[in-house]
Amino acid sequence: MGGRHDDDDDDFDAESANGGRLRIDRCLWHLRLYKTRSLASSAVAAGRVQLNGGRPKPSREIVVGDVLEVTRESQVIEFTVLTIPKRRGPALEAQSCYQETERSVARRAAMREVHQLDALSRPRTDGRPDKRDRRVQRDFLRRQ
């Protein structure tokens, strides 16, 4: 009475409501590429997301078969949408909704290798520097 109804279908069903379409910002959030929908929307507005080679608006709807290219920090992830996600569920469910391209997988593997080599080339320390070590570092940097 006057309160919340007790229907089991309270969740928004994107496929049945829009015929297999979903806003791109919602889709990126559902696919767990961004932590919040507003972060996804900001990324799309800033041009860090490309849809089929073009720059979409956050409200643009995606369909099955669209190719998305998402730039996060220094990573570029390119994938094809296989199914439209119905909800923001577990990561395995989200990963089943898209397929990353071979070029993208190879590019990310190469970047991972570069980061590992970079980490190996950095000097190892015994942890956080103490007061004396910080002074030595500061004096060294001032002399440069």
pLDDT value, residue 19:
59
User: With bands split at pLDDT 50, 70 and 90, how would you rate the model's confidence at 118?
Assistant: confident
pLDDT value, residue 91:
92
Contact residues for 53 (Cβ-Cβ < 8 A; gap 6+): 67
Distances (CA, A) of 97 to 65, 78, 88, 90, 93: 11, 13, 11, 11, 7
CATH value of 14-123 in 3.40.50.300, 3.10.290.10, 3.30.2400.10, 3.40.50.720: 3.10.290.10
pLDDT value, residue 18:
53
Check residues 19 and 17 and name the one with the higher pLDDT.
19
Tens digit of pLDDT for each residue in 66-85? 999 999 888 899 999 999 99
Mean pLDDT of 114-134: 86
Cα 86 from Cα 90, distance rounded (Å): 12
Q: What is the DSSP code string of 70-133?
A: EEETTEEEEEEE-S--SS---HHHHHTTEEE-HHHHHHHHHHHHHHHHHHHHSPP-SSS--HHH
pLDDT value, residue 34:
93
Cα 32 from Cα 40, distance rounded (Å): 10
Q: Which helix (H) or strand (E) holds 23?
A: strand 22-23
pLDDT value, residue 106:
95
Nearest to 25, CA basis, from 45, 4, 52: 45
User: With bands split at pLDDT 50, 70 and 90, how would you rate the model's confidence at 8?
Assistant: very low
Whether the Cβ atoms of residue 69 and residue 78 lie closer than 8 Å to each other: yes
Sign of CA pseudo-dihedral 12, 13, 18, 20: positive
Domain ranges of the chain: 14-123
Tens digit of pLDDT for each residue in 22-59? 999 999 999 999 999 999 999 999 999 999 989 999 99
Mean pLDDT of 112-136: 88
Cα 15 from Cα 58, distance rounded (Å): 18
